[in-house]
Amino acid sequence: MIYGDRNTGVLVQGATGKQGEFHIGLMNAYARQVGGRGVVAGVTPGKGGQQVHGVPVYNTVKDAMKEHDIGSAVIFVPAGAAADAIMEEANAGLTTIVCITEHIPVHDTMKAIAYARTEGASIIGPNCPGLLSPGEVKMGIMPSGLFSRGNVGVISRSGTLTYEVVDELTRAGIGQSTVVGIGGDPVIGQTFVDVLERFEKDPQTKAVVLIGEVGGNLEEEGAKSTDLPIVSYIAGVSAPPDKRMGHAGAIVEGGEGDARSKIARLKKHGVPVASRVSEIPEMVRELFRCRC
């Protein structure tokens, strides 16, 4: 496990909103299924004293932390308030903060991440589906039914594409250690490099599937940083330049970050890259065969 396990108490910021309430229900259903603690507290300013699916709601993160043993936070607040939520949690001493919120202005994200760094907190996201360690913990919105426990780590800039890959892996009998959606924005907290570093220290993880897309070069930086065997897939081979492909960060700019050159650099570094999602399970098997 990386970032947490079944003993991790989770706090949800934006607990009384539609999304927050819905996903507290799903996260705690998963916690019951695996015997985990799940969401133990919620925070919404001004709604302290209420309950959501039996989870107590507090006005501030510090109030919640006085009453509960909390290891991580998941943010569902609207874009205008999300950077503040990240900083509140970092300031309160939380070190793992997952930000699901989409459409946060980049400058807000840069400031929140810079601040969180001074407080020693790790941010996953924003604009991400969170993470799931099968059989242990779910922090975010991933559909747990598709997952199975095993020793392949998955890191992705995407949401549904990750589920597609996980579904393919599970159907092929390949379980996952932890699946992390790092987010589709240009500036994100934990990048491929950071998550790979955690996977290296995780005895459960033997190989990693790295799912990238057009924009930037974080995938290549990640692949260079690790000794773990990797299979990669890069979305956006057919993406035209200067168009944002759904994610704020999925854009080929100034001739940089296009899928073909990304794939070429990964291959040059010895990383096998799948041309189709459906090829991934067989390529992962191939990795294990090489290791035997």
Partner 1 sequence: MKLREYEAKKVMKEAGIPVPAGVLIRLADELTPHIGELGDAFVLKAQVDVGGRGKAGGILMADKNTGRAVAEELFGKQIKGLPVHEVLAEQRLTIHHEYYLSITVDRSSKQPLILFTEAGGVDIEITAREHPELIRKATPNPLMRDIPSFMLRELVGTAPKEIGPIINRLYRVFIEKDALLAEINPLVTTPIGVFAADAKIIVDDNALGRQGFTVNRGLSEREREAEKHGFSYVELDGAIGVIGNGAGLTMATLDLIEYYGGKAANFLDVGGGAESERVMNAVRLVASVPAVKVIVVNLLGGITKCDEVAKGIIAAGISQKVIVRLAGTNEAEGRKLLSEKGYEMLDTMDLVVKKAVEVTA
242: which residues sit within 8 A by CB, 6+ positions away?
251, 252, 253
**Rounded Cα–Cα distance for residues 16 and 21 (Å):** 6
- Return the structure tokens found at 197: 């570093």
Examine the residue annotation and report whether 269 is marked as an active-site residue of this protein: no
With helix as H, strand as E and coil as C, how does 229-262 read? CEEEEEECCCCCCCCCCCCCCCCCECCECCHHHH
CB of 63 or CB of 119, closer to partner 1: 119
Minimum separation from the CB atom of position 292 to partner 1 (A): 29
Contact in structure between 156 and 277 (CB atoms under 8 Å): no
Minimum separation from the CB atom of position 254 to partner 1 (A): 6
Minimum separation from the CB atom of position 36 to partner 1 (A): 20
Minimum separation from the CB atom of position 185 to partner 1 (A): 9
Candidates 103, 107, 247, 269; catalytic one: 247
Contact in structure between 70 and 40 (CB atoms under 8 Å): yes
Minimum separation from the CB atom of position 184 to partner 1 (A): 6
- Contact residues for partner 1 (CB under 8 A)? 22, 79, 103-107, 110-111, 113-115, 141-143, 146, 156-164, 167, 184, 186-189, 191, 211, 213-218, 221, 233, 235-240, 242-250, 254-255, 259, 275-278
CB of 35 or CB of 114, closer to partner 1: 114
Q: CB neighbours (10 Å) of residue 168? A: 20
CB of 104 or CB of 228, closer to partner 1: 104
Q: Give the CA count within 13 Å in the CB-facing half-sphere of 129.
A: 21
- Residue 219 CA to its chain's centroid (Å): 15
111: which residues sit within 8 A by CB, 6+ positions away?
83
Q: Which residues are catalytic?
A: 247
